[in-house]
Structure 1
Amino acid sequence: MGLKLQEVSSAAGWRWVLQAFAEYGRYPFGYTGLFLAFLVAVFVAMLLPLLGGLLLLMSMPLLTLGFMMATEAAQRGVPPAAAVYPAAWRGRPADRRRALLALLMAFAVASTAALWVSETVDGGAFSAWLEAFIRGTAPADEVSKLAMAPGATSGAIWRIALTAAVAVPFWFAPALVHWAGQGPAQALFSSTVALWRARGAFLVYFFAWTMLGLGGMLLGSVLIALAGPSLAAMLMLPLALMLTAVFYVSLYFSFRDCFGDPASA
């Protein structure tokens, strides 16, 4: 039996997050190492002149596919390993490799366009605030002033809207190419339909991750106040790596509920 769209209840959104934490607990070092391997590859790619930024954008769908493949394999008792990234290409039919490459290029173009529109709308105000906030060394009043600067709020809204517009069609598209053999256009369409049909579950899912993200930011602010920026960054790094890895692990469970077990494809 091949993959096909399935009905998904709203409660599934909570279940995906809980399943991801439980799965991460089985292979914490494996999944964290999987994400770190991606970061190392990105760092090396960024050293390349001109092509670095393009390769970074093209690699994001490959990251989601790699984690889905690793999580699916872990259900069969295979520990996560960075070998899943080349496995997305090695031994695959030529049409699927071409379709995946087309998706990666389309994602890079769409992301670049979204970033350009956002920067044009706010004149870089949101980026200036975000940089100051992440750096953590700027005085609080300066950060607040940047947050209230003209264009900062609209820039945030535009980024959220455009990021969502790009993310929806690409959410499941790489996995649909890899497991179901769909073409790029069909995979983008199927992904969009799947997220729309399961919109209740995804609203719950995104709410849960928003709350976890805000909780992490609050904890980071407390640690900065108590221990200073440098020590707080060292303490928050393991938590950030864990939450990021858990998020990517959760993608597989959302795919399985929306389309069925990839082993059936």
Structure 2
Amino acid sequence: MQAYKRNPTRGFAWLVDGFRLWKRSPALVTYLTFGYLLILVLLSVIPLIGQAVASLILPIISLGVLNGMLAIHEGRKAGPEVLLSGFKSNVGGLVTVGGLYLTGTLLALAATALIDGGALLRIMVGNQALDEATMATPGLMGASLFGTLLTTPLMMAYWFAAMLVGWCGLSAPKAMFFSLIACWRSFGAFSLYVLGIFFLVLGGPALLISVIAQGSPALASLLTVPLPLITIPIVFASFLPNALDIFGQDVPHTAHA
């Protein structure tokens, strides 16, 4: 499995390519994006087991999103059912990816208890409200930074794993290993990619709305609703150009959309 090293500027190019993909089928990209997010929310609210179930299922739904984006990229027709098409591709391997990610996340959160006595862990699992008193917990900020440091390699290992399991037939551990290596080889590009996502979803719209609010507060207020309906799907659309650029255009030839 070859993961190409890309220049840092490619991080911005992935978002530009995501915008182009979104323009080809705004309705389908928007459906895939918010369908994914809705499934995440619905699973997460299930008492006791919701978050665990969501972690196990989301690699399957993520593959469905990529299958839909690939259909748009290749000019093929795809219906609403494409969001669940991941259930046709190595479900066991995809669930294992989710399980490994969940286990790693819980271990990382447990490790932060060495700094804040378990406050961050209780917040993340929903056992403690994030209020003023909680924010004042000694060591909470340090625990958050430590948790970020521990989970960053885990997120890198997770990033391409669903694609590599579903499209390339790799086992979950091997897919996560290659995903980690791929992200590390192009770490500069991914860093700018994350910054670009932050600006596209938060910084850019906030700046635009603040400028418009100087002349028309009502119009600025109205824009707070449609802007996320455009920017978030563009981010989701950029996942496919990102994958194709890192692993080469031949990767989706093994996909089953």
Q: TM-score, normalised by structure 1?
A: 0.75
Q: How far apart in 2 are the matches of 1:51 and 1:72? A: 32
Cα distance in structure 1, aligned partners of 2:27 and 2:130? 30
Contact map agreement 2:62 2:86 (CA 8 A) in 1:
no
Letter in 2 for 1:23: L
* Shift in Å, 1:176: 0.5
Task: Find the counterpart in structure 2 of residue 175 from structure 1.
Answer: 163
Show the 5 A alignment for 1:158-197: 158-197=146-185
User: Whole-Å Cα distance in 1 between the matches of residues 79 and 23 of structure 2?
Assistant: 15
| Matched AA of 1:181 | G
Deviation at residue 127 of structure 1 after TM alignment: 5.6
The letter for the 1-side match of 2:3 is: L
- Which of 216, 236, 244 matches 1:256? 244
Give the CA deviation at 1:152: 4.4
Aligned twin of 2:33: 35
Gaps of 5+ in 2: none
CA distance in 2, matches of 1:125, 1:83: 36
Q: Which moved more, 1:192-201 or 1:170-179?
A: 192-201
Quickly say closer, same or farther: Cα 1:44–1:83, change in 2 above 3 A. Answer: same
State the shift of 1:102 in Å: 1.0
Deviations 1:178-215 (A, max 9, x none): 11111111111111111122222212212222333451
Aligned residue for 2:238, secondary structure, equals helix
Whole-Å separation in 1 of the counterparts to 2:94 and 2:200: 31
2:66 aligned with 1:77, yes or no?
Answer: no
Aligned mates of 2:84, 2:231 — CA distance in 1: 24
**CA separation in 2, counterparts of 1:177 and 1:60?**
13
Matching of residues 88-99 of structure 1 within 5 Å: 88-90=86-88, 92=89, 96-99=90-93
**1:23-172 correspondence runs (5 A):** 23-78=21-76, 81-90=79-88, 92=89, 96-118=90-112, 121-122=115-116, 123-124=119-120, 150-172=138-160
199-208 or 59-68: bigger deviation: 59-68
Matched with 2:188 is: 200
- Counterpart of 1:176 in structure 2: which amino acid? L
CA distance in 2, matches of 1:4, 1:214: 34
Q: What's the CA shift string for 1:151-186, capped at 9, x where partnerless?
A: 343244234323312210011111001111111111
> Secondary structure, in 3 states, of the residue corresponding to 2:170?
coil
Identical-residue share of aligned pairs (%): 23
RMSD: 3.6
Give the 3 Å change call, closer, same or farther, for CA 109–206 of structure 1 in structure 2.
same
| C-alpha contact 2:14 2:241 (8 A) present in aligned 1 | yes
The size of the alignment, in residue pairs, is: 243
In 1, the alpha carbon distance for the partners of 2:78 and 2:13 equals: 21
CA shift for structure 1 position 72 = 1.1
Contact persistence 1:46–1:52 (CA under 8 A): yes
Distance change (3 Å), C-alpha of 1:190 and 1:16: same
Contact 1:34 1:81 in 2 (8 A): no
Q: Which runs of 5+ in 1 are unaligned?
A: 133-141
- Deviation digits for residues 70-104 of structure 1, max 9, x if unmatched? 111111223564422321122x4xxx332112112
Q: What secondary structure is seen at the aligned counterpart in 2 of 1:88?
A: helix
1:212-223 to structure 2, matched below 5 A, reads 212-215=200-203, 218-219=206-207, 222=210
